[in-house]
Amino acid sequence: MTDLIFNVFILLTIIPCFWVALSSNIVHAAFSLLITLFGIAGLYVLLGADFIGVIQVIVYIGGILVLIIFGVMMTQRGKLLPLSIQLPGKLFGAVLTGVILAALLLSATRTLWPVAAVLGEPQLTSAAIGDLLLGKYLIPFEIASVLLLAALIGAVLIARRSVRGE
């Protein structure tokens, strides 16, 4: 049963990926990405990482992808311009993809994946993650938030400057 659901999520993750890469309509590509991200969230949940799974949906689908679609909608004017990819670009892309695929396959097969001997009931993760973030990993967590805050302020500053036309 778990294997079946796992395979469904794998297909849900991979098939829309082709559409993301091959579709000439950028909004369709973005929408396909939504299904892929959903599939990944499903895989997380299946692995017992319920917190990460839900956060995946909130951050990637509810946040980042909305911004992508928002940007596409705002910039698109008039008739949609279909994306076209030239042949040299395709060749370069194929070679690059091949190299990355080989590297990934090699590392995936050569690595020894330590698997827990007995897989019990999945533990509840959100409380443990919260404790770690505000305890053991407090300083990295705070540094990351300050960094993000700086990026946020920077983005606002750049946007304001271009509005004023300075």
CB nearer to other proteins: give 100 or 131.
131
**Shortest distance, position 94 Cβ to other proteins, whole Å:** 28
**Shortest distance, position 107 Cβ to other proteins, whole Å:** 32
Residue 68: phi, psi to the nearest 5?
Answer: -60, -50
CB nearer to other proteins: give 13 or 38.
38
**Shortest distance, position 148 Cβ to other proteins, whole Å:** 14
CB nearer to other proteins: give 85 or 127.
127
DSSP-derived secondary structure letter, 76: -
Structural tokens at position 144: 């990351």
CB nearer to other proteins: give 131 or 137.
131
**Shortest distance, position 6 Cβ to other proteins, whole Å:** 19
**Shortest distance, position 112 Cβ to other proteins, whole Å:** 32
**C-alpha dihedral (57, 60, 62, 65), degrees to nearest 10:** -140
In whole angstroms, give the CA distance from residue 54 to residue 38. Answer: 10
Summarize as ranges the residues that interact with other proteins (CB under 8 A).
25, 27-28, 31, 34, 50-51, 54-55, 57-58, 61-63, 66, 69-70, 73-74, 124, 126
H-only helix segments in the chain: 2-22, 26-46, 50-56, 65-75, 87-110, 126-134, 138-164
CB nearer to other proteins: give 66 or 102.
66
In contact, 12 and 38? CB cutoff 8 Å: yes
